[in-house]
Structure 1
Amino acid sequence: MSEPTGPAPYGYPTGPAPLSAGDERTWGMVAHLSSFVAAYVALGLIGPAVVMATMGQRSAFVRRHAVEALNFNISVLIYALVSGVLAFVLIGIPLLVALAVLYLVTTIQGAMAANRGEEYRYPLTIRFVS
């Protein structure tokens, strides 16, 4: 089935309205900071996934930030699981502390970059979602 062409009936828009520049920056920042909401149960990837699914279709900027935050949270979950296993041989304990500091600092940096309207790439991130 093909998409209809031409103007929408009665002048109604056919898709979601694009976001303003201010809203883009706000939702980009939310994509990063929303990971804190469920991070305490190792599900920090839920917030960025929800932002990507709901607002990502309205703004390429928001989608890029949500994808970056989602990839970082998936990577951190993997690193935390490996560090948790390594905690039994004591090397994992300092790794978990370092990972927690990295998570806190880089998530705040990503949110600040989004708020300024800039792109941000997390370090040590495996790119699962594109």
Structure 2
Amino acid sequence: MSTTPVPLHTVSDSERQWAAGVHVGALVLALLTSWVSGAAGAAVAGVVYLVKRDHSRFAAAHAREALNFNISMFLYACALGVLGVVLLGATVLTLGLGVLVTLPLGLVLVAAACALALAWLVCSIVAAIRAWHGEMYRYPLTIRLIRG
């Protein structure tokens, strides 16, 4: 996928609306189902991708990008959850003595979760704005599982 802007005159209003809507829709559904279970956001993007892939290259590219991003964020959130369980388990297994090590790591983990949530929010908004202006957008920190 090219990162260069698509000239606005080649992208219809409908395509721009679908492209921006997929980013907003994925974000809203992810927020409504809690960002940790952001698989719902990926579902929205996946449905739009399947619907638009034969009709609008622009909207399908944005949907694919949103799908990859939401899957990536979901995987990152799961990894943070697993690390949280491991830290809690280490504290319990050491009869509370491990709290000297796990408490600072737990605080770092909470900060990482907040940074992930903020990145999810900001990147989705930036992607929607870029789509609305008829530009392509590639999310940072994205594992590109679905290719076009």
- Please say whether Structure 1 and Structure 2 have the same fold, judged by a TM-score greater than 0.5: yes
TM-score under structure 2 length normalisation: 0.71
Segments of 5+ residues of structure 2 without an aligned counterpart are 1-10, 88-105
Q: CA deviation at 1:34?
A: 1.3
Once the two structures are superposed, the pairs formed by residues 51-90 of structure 1 within 5 Å of their partners are: 51-88=48-85, 89=87, 90=106
Q: Is the 8 A contact 1:68 1:122 kept in 2?
A: yes
TM-score under structure 1 length normalisation: 0.80
Aligned to 1:36: 27
Shifted more, 49-58 versus 66-75: the winner is: 49-58
Aligned to 2:43: 46
Aligned to 1:110: 127
Residues 83 and 92 of structure 1: CA distance in aligned 2, closer, same or farther (over 3 Å): same
Note the alpha carbon deviations across 1:49-107, whole angstroms, 9 max, x for none: 11111122210000110000000001000100011122243132111100000000000
CA RMSD of aligned residues (A): 1.3
- Structure 1 stretches (4+) deviating beyond 6 angstroms? none
Q: Distance in 1 between matches of 2:110 and 2:26?
A: 22
Q: Distance in 1 between matches of 2:69 and 2:129?
A: 16
When the two structures are aligned, how many residues end up with a matched partner? 111
Q: Distance in 2 between matches of 1:38 and 1:51?
A: 13
Of Structure 1 and Structure 2, which has the larger fraction of its residues in helix?
2
Q: Distance in 1 between matches of 2:38 and 2:45?
A: 13
1:97 correspondence with 2:114:
yes
